[in-house]
Amino acid sequence: MEVKLWNDKREREMYDNFADLYAIIKATEKLEKAYVRDIISSSQYEPECLKLIGQFKTLTSSLAGTIPSIERFADIYKMDCPAALNRLISSGVPATVEHRAAAASSMNTSAATVAECVQHFITAMDTLKLNMVAVDQVHPILYDLSASLNKLNILLPDFEGKVKMKEWISRLSNMGAADELTEQQSRQLHFDLESSYNSFMAALPNSGT
């Protein structure tokens, strides 16, 4: 007799999401161990870690209310993945970013603010990927990102990210809260965010990792 795990389309989608979440946590654990053991380089580790963190945030936002907590999910499915849970939940940024933040801290720059900037960059890009393009959805995120960037004394006033975020905030301020970015505007903003993020990472002190 065939036994079904779900009774309807909604339940099937939930279990599919559970499977994706399980895979992301397991992949992150393997990635963290590979980086610690020097099996992969920093340049290989960072983009993969950022991708997994982005996927994790996107997926968990859609699972809100479905599971009590990620820790509980890991416990239920007997997942021994402490490194992944630390990276995805406690840290929220790749280890390489933490290392750069620590190096920046030695130059009187707040490591917490560096990590904050990275999180705002990731959140902004994920928001656009989820097609959340209304002004009242995008504006607060860009404002928080801009405020965080302005806290860092290692970034010059004409730093690309500062300039572009200021321009976008000004543009959005002239629109209505319910107005939405066009597809072209959304793609351009995502491009500007990605470009600014790369410039931001390059501007941080080299931690030697």
- pLDDT tens-digit readout, 88-135: 998 888 898 888 777 665 555 567 788 889 889 998 998 898 889 999
Structure confidence at residue 2 (pLDDT): 56
When pLDDT is cut at 50, 70 and 90, the band that residue 208 belongs to is very low
Domain with CATH 1.20.1440.200 in the chain: 9-107
- pLDDT tens-digit readout, 31-45: 999 999 999 999 899
CB 119 within 8 A of CB 127: no
- 165, two tokens: 């975020």
- pLDDT tens-digit readout, 127-162: 898 889 999 999 999 999 999 999 887 888 899 999
Distance CA 8, CA 81 (A): 31
Distance CA 78, CA 80 (A): 6
Structure letter (DSSP) for residue 39: S
CATH number of 109-201: 1.20.120.1130
CATH number of 9-107: 1.20.1440.200
φ, ψ at 70 (rounded to 5°)? -65, -40
